[in-house]
Amino acid sequence: MSNIITAEHITKRFSAHTALDDVSVEIPRGSVYGLLGPNGAGKTTLIRTINRITLPDEGRILFDGRPIEQQDIFRIGYLPEERGLYRKMKVGEQALFLAQLKGLKHHEALLRLREWFTRFGIEEWWNKKVEDLSKGMAQKIQFIVTVLHKPELLIFDEPFSGFDPINANLLKEEILRLRDEGATVIFSTHNMSSVEEVCDHITLINKSHNILSGKVDDIRREHGGNIFSAQYKGDAKALIERLQGVCKVLAHDKNPLGYSSIKLHIERNEDVRSVVAMVNEAVELRQFTEEVPSMNDIFIRACQQG
Amino acid sequence: MRNISLIIGREYRERVYKKSFIFTTILMPLFMILIGAAPTLIMEFADSETRKITVVDESGIVAPCLESDEEVEFVFSDKNIAETLIATADDEDNFGVLHIGKAIVENPSDARLYTNSSSSMMLEESVADQIEKVIESERLKAYNIENIEEILDKVKASVHLATFRTDKDKESAASSAIASSLVGMVLGFLLYFILAIYGGMVMQSVIEEKSSRILEVMVSTVRPFEMLMGKILGIALVAATQILVWGVLLVVFSAVIMPALMPENLIESVQQVQAGADVSALAMQQDLAPEMLTALASVLDTGQIAMVVAMVLLFTVGGFLLYASLYAAIGASVNQAQDAQQLTTVVTLPIIVAFIVTMMIMKDPNSPIVFWCSLIPFTSPIVMVARIPSGIPAWEIATSLVLLYATFVVCVWGAAKIYKIGIFMHGAKPKLKDLWRWLRY
């Protein structure tokens, strides 16, 4: 899988502080990529560097493997954290204006806008003034304008902030749909449950440094410390004897009448399949799962260590 | 280019399609006419009632010569001053009592006006005038010169200095200094208005874009320079539209309506003056002051008007572009309008200086300070435009224009740099020092 964006050793200094310090990120084409980090960590600066709003002091951004150019921004759709529209303009007129700036012809823009407005069920907003819309409504308009020119790369800065759960869900579905249509999505967020649901890759930025990068599944597994839990019915003593020397029992909740549960630590070089087979032989196995920490735990732990 | 024209279109439509724009464009000339006519109108309507003044003349010389007119009616009293004051105290129609001392001819200050409400300067002046005349003629009589009145009549003269422009192709077209400096003043004021109002509009709109956060959306698509130029040019077009409408109204007014309102033979006279005929003779024939006729002649010269409108347009656009870029830089570096105060003062100062210099044109359109201010780019748009009706050599206008547009290019370059950095600065209010640092960034 090729990378659509490669950020190489990006450093960006402002007069008072360093916003990014030697940050490298690789964003695979077709992924949904989460940029995580506490407030003020440098996420927005990294995003602005990727879409050429600010130039880095050191390092470079590669787009499709070659240094990014001004024309490439037509292939990027960007939804900034601080949403903004011209307040006095009518919704339709404004959407058309922004779409044309993205390089769409008037006719084409009109067609696509009609389609999106119908999809979101907001046709009657077309002639309303932006100042008459609620915050959530304005965000929907802005989302449409961001994706309208069908960019290969979509960058959303805090897309879920300010949306109610229903609209946040709608937004999640749209993000996944866009990915299925072939777009790459980068978004920054504090909302960890959305990361688990939507992202396949993440980078965690803290205090201007990239402290954690990779596939979500891999990261959770790495931070899990190979802990598995099992639920079973049967002879607890026999099970423990069977596992002796194979893995460590961390906790054991015996229930002679119903289901007992056991927590195991399996060494990394041990074959998980054979452990499952052993348990299965000893008792009646009901459930066997790896206990992976939530992204929330990983986030907090990583940031506190750094 | 496509982006700039899209932005220009947006800025233009947002303003020109507004109701308030249509109103000001049409109402502004009416407003100007009203302001011009205000003093005359006020004089017409104020002081319309006749005031009665009771005169006690101890000298016996002044009273017979006092003439009542629309404003003052003189009534004579043969009682002494104390009695008269008591007698008139309850008379509401009586405005006041004028007391003239016995030795008024020797001592002209021996005159008093007692009033029971405040008098007006006009009234006091006209009364004093009349007394002065009486005293003067009394004193002249004392010399015992024969036929003194005839002599005085013959001595009186009224001079109208007709000036002629010799640098024009048209042989000696008449020009009136008063008319052209008046036109110049109006134009100077117009430019002052446009630079301050439309410049402020650019600043306001940049601040608005910054605080509504639309800038980040825009800047991820277009270059800051394109945004800046699109905005400035868009608003410049709005200003040009407004001037053009005013210019067209003016030309139509002078070419169609004015002749229609004026008697036919007056038009003929005006045309003769435009063709270079003798003003005084024609003025006599029309029973008009010669100044009036020359002023009419230059106001009604459509060719002259078109030339002035074209020049005004060139200087307005240049001056506007210059000031707009400065105002835009300020707008980009602050977060709210209140913070801009300190910085706008720096920009507004030359505009005000230029406006003050414009007043001096009335005295002499070629004095050194006026000359230099009409070449220096920051004051030239206002001062030069105010000078143009007085007839300025072409090389001066050309030099001024070149300097103006060159400065504009430099300023836009600087403003674009400040703009680029400023629009993402939220937080502390920037000082002039910061702007200087951003310029070298």
The per-residue pLDDT for range A32-87, each reduced to its tens digit, is 999 998 888 889 889 988 988 888 888 999 999 899 888 888 889 999 887 788 88
In the numeric block, the tokens 């009186």 are attached to B156
Is the pLDDT at A1 greater than 80? The verdict is no
Q: How confident is the model at residue B171 (pLDDT cuts 50, 70, 90)?
A: very low
The residues near A176 (Cβ < 8 Å, ≥ 6 apart) are: A32, A198
pLDDT of residue A152: 92
Is the pLDDT at A244 greater than 90? The verdict is no
Average pLDDT over residues A265-287: 86
pLDDT of residue B178: 66
> What digits encode the pLDDT tens for the residues A203-234?
999 888 998 899 988 888 888 778 889 999 88
Residues in chain A with CB shorter than 8 Å from the CB of B216 are 53, 80, 82, 84
Residues in chain A with CB shorter than 8 Å from the CB of B214 are 84-86
Query: Measured between alpha carbons, how far is residue B204 from residues B71, B214, B324, B344 in Å?
Result: 52, 14, 11, 12
Q: Which long-range contacts (CB under 8 A, 24 or more apart) does A274-281 make?
A: A274/A246, A275/A228, A275/A243, A275/A246, A275/A247, A278/A242, A278/A243, A278/A246, A279/A230, A279/A232, A279/A239, A279/A242, A279/A243, A281/A242
Is the pLDDT at B167 greater than 70? The verdict is no
Assigned token pair, A302:
């990583």
Is the pLDDT at B295 greater than 70? The verdict is no
> What digits encode the pLDDT tens for the residues B308-333?
778 888 888 888 889 999 998 888 88
pLDDT of residue A62: 92
Which of A89-93, B30-34, B189-193 ranks highest by mean pLDDT? A89-93
Q: Nearest CA of chain A to the CA of B222: how many Å?
A: 7
Q: How many CB pairs under 8 A join A and B?
A: 54
Nearest chain B residue to A130, by CA: B212
pLDDT of residue B47: 55
Does residue B5 belong to the interface with chain A, where contact is any CB pair within 8 Å? Answer: no
Nearest chain B residue to A98, by CA: B218
Average pLDDT, chain A: 87
Is the pLDDT at B278 greater than 70? The verdict is no
> What digits encode the pLDDT tens for the residues B352-396?
888 888 888 777 778 888 888 888 888 888 888 888 877 778 888
User: Would you call B364 helix, strand, or coil by DSSP?
Assistant: coil
> What digits encode the pLDDT tens for the residues A92-128?
999 999 999 888 899 999 999 999 999 888 889 999 9
Q: Choose between A179 and B77: higher pLDDT.
A: A179
Q: How confident is the model at residue B165 (pLDDT cuts 50, 70, 90)?
A: low
- Best A78, A101, A131 member to test B by mutation, with max B CBs in 10 Å, is A101
Is the pLDDT at B301 greater than 70? The verdict is no
Distance from C-alpha of B186 to C-alpha of A298, rounded to nearest angstrom: 73
Torsion of CA B109, B115, B119, B124, to 10 degrees: -30
Is the pLDDT at A162 greater than 80? The verdict is no
Window from A49-53, A241-245, B154-158, B206-210 with minimum mean pLDDT? B154-158
Query: Measured between alpha carbons, how far is residue A24 from residues A48, A78, A79 in Å?
Result: 15, 20, 22
pLDDT of residue A154: 93
Is the pLDDT at B169 greater than 50? The verdict is no
- Best B20, B214, B433 member to test A by mutation, with max A CBs in 10 Å, is B214
pLDDT of residue B172: 38
pLDDT of residue B258: 65
Q: How confident is the model at residue B404 (pLDDT cuts 50, 70, 90)?
A: very high
Q: How confident is the model at residue B163 (pLDDT cuts 50, 70, 90)?
A: low
> Does the beta-carbon distance from A101 to B223 stay under 8 Å?
no
Which of A210-224, B131-145, B299-313 ranks highest by mean pLDDT? A210-224
The residues near B381 (Cβ < 8 Å, ≥ 6 apart) are: B191, B195, B315, B316, B318, B319, B320, B322, B354, B404
Burial class (CB in 10 A: 0-12, 13-18, 19+), A107: exposed
Q: How confident is the model at residue B276 (pLDDT cuts 50, 70, 90)?
A: low
Number of H helices, E strands in chain A: 10, 14
Give the percent of chain A with pLDDT over 70: 99
pLDDT of residue B292: 64
pTM for the complete prediction? 0.70
Pick from B215, B53, B199, B35: nearest CA to B131 = B53
Is the pLDDT at B432 greater than 80? The verdict is no
Q: Nearest CA of chain A to the CA of B440: how many Å?
A: 14
B58 — phi, psi (to 5°)? -80, -20
pLDDT of residue B418: 83
Contact B334, B340 (CB under 8 A): yes
Assigned token pair, B232:
């400035």
Which of A298-302, B5-9, B311-315 ranks highest by mean pLDDT? B5-9
pLDDT of residue B57: 84
Is the pLDDT at B304 greater than 80? The verdict is no
Does residue B227 belong to the interface with chain A, where contact is any CB pair within 8 Å? Answer: no
Pick from B375, B432, B424: nearest CA to B401 = B375
> Does the beta-carbon distance from A101 to B215 stay under 8 Å?
no
Residues in chain B with CB shorter than 8 Å from the CB of A16 are none
Q: Choose between B39 and B55: higher pLDDT.
A: B55
User: Would you call B433 helix, strand, or coil by DSSP?
Assistant: helix
Which of A142-146, A252-256, B220-224 ranks highest by mean pLDDT? A142-146
> Does the beta-carbon distance from B212 to A84 stay under 8 Å?
yes
- Best B212, B419, B423 member to test A by mutation, with max A CBs in 10 Å, is B212
> What digits encode the pLDDT tens for the residues B114-130?
877 766 777 788 888 88
- Best A57, A86, A106 member to test B by mutation, with max B CBs in 10 Å, is A86
Q: Considering CB atoms only, which of A51, A88, A89 is closest to B220?
A: A51
pLDDT of residue B289: 63
Q: What is the Cα B359 distance to its own chain's centre? A: 9
Q: Nearest CA of chain B to the CA of A208: how many Å?
A: 19
Residues in chain B with CB shorter than 8 Å from the CB of A82 are 213, 216
Residues in chain B with CB shorter than 8 Å from the CB of A84 are 209, 212-217
Q: How confident is the model at residue B296 (pLDDT cuts 50, 70, 90)?
A: low
Is the pLDDT at A149 greater than 50? The verdict is yes
Half-sphere exposure of B438 (CA within 13 A, CB side): 23
Q: What is the Cα B6 distance to its own chain's centre? A: 38
> What digits encode the pLDDT tens for the residues B51-65?
788 888 888 877 788
Distance from C-alpha of B346 to C-alpha of B327, rounded to nearest angstrom: 10
Window from B160-174, B207-221, B337-351 with minimum mean pLDDT? B160-174
Beta-ladder partners of A77: A154
- Which residues on chain A place their C-beta less than 8 Å from a C-beta of chain B? 51-54, 70, 73, 76, 78, 80, 82-89, 97-98, 100-102, 142, 145
DSSP B353: H
Does residue B216 belong to the interface with chain A, where contact is any CB pair within 8 Å? Answer: yes
Give the percent of chain B with pLDDT over 90: 5
